[in-house]
């Protein structure tokens, strides 16, 4: 999940590199991303057996479960601009990335198909309620010298992630625990 875009502080008038303050303008570009990975470390607690689905009674074939545990993901945000108003040919260019640990919780149903095969349907919520912020100082056009008292910040808020999964599982039987 990611996004980026350009926003102009002077409506739809883009900046002219030769005359950055005529008309007053600024080209800002912002980006945010939930990294290309996340991980959960959850335990499942459930009920099995005919009591769950008596009309379909064929033995202990169903598992209705709840799951919970820690979750980790990577978030990043950034903003950059050139030809910033008031500072001829100045640059904004800063980003920040954070690895965030939160909680995962969910519920699911697993149904034994035959032998070692089962079907699973599951819902999981990742509680990544977090804002990643990037701050920095305006730089000269060379990008080397920072302009004093010119701190700018951008932030990206994440309010949790809902996931749904379906799958087919294979259980390795005859092997020692935990298989």
Residue 14: per-residue pLDDT = 57
pTM > 0.75: yes or no: no
pLDDT tens digits, residue range 71-84?
Answer: 998 888 887 776 55
Residue 78: per-residue pLDDT = 81
Can you read off the two tokens belonging to residue 133?
A: 């912020």
Band (163; pLDDT cuts 50, 70, 90): very high
Per 3-state DSSP, the chain is made up of helix, strand and coil in percentages (nearest 5) of 0, 70, 30
d(CA 137, CA 93): 9
Measured CA to CA in angstroms, residue 5 lies from 64, 79, 138 at distances of 43, 10, 20
Residue 43: per-residue pLDDT = 95
pLDDT tens digits, residue range 120-131?
Answer: 999 999 998 888
């Amino acid at each position: 999940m990611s996004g980026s875009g350009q926003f102009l502080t002077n409506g739809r008038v883009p900046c002219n590199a030769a005359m950055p303050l005529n008309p007053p303008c600024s080209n800002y570009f912002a980006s945010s991303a939930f990294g290309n990975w996340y991980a959960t470390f959850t335990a499942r607690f459930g009920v099995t057996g005919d009591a769950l689905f008596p009309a379909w009674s064929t033995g202990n074939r169903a598992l209705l479960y709840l799951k919970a545990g820690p979750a980790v993901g990577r978030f990043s945000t950034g903003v950059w601009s050139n030809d910033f108003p008031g500072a001829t040919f100045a640059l904004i260019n800063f980003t920040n990335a954070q690895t965030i640990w939160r909680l995962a919780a969910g519920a699911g149903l697993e149904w034994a198909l035959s032998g070692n095969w089962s079907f699973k349907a599951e819902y999981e919520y990742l509680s990544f309620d977090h804002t990643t912020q990037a701050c920095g100082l305006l730089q000269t056009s060379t990008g080397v010298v920072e302009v004093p008292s010119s701190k700018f910040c951008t932030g990206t808020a994440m309010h949790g992630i809902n996931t749904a999964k379906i799958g087919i599982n294979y259980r390795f039987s005859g092997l020692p625990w935990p298989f």
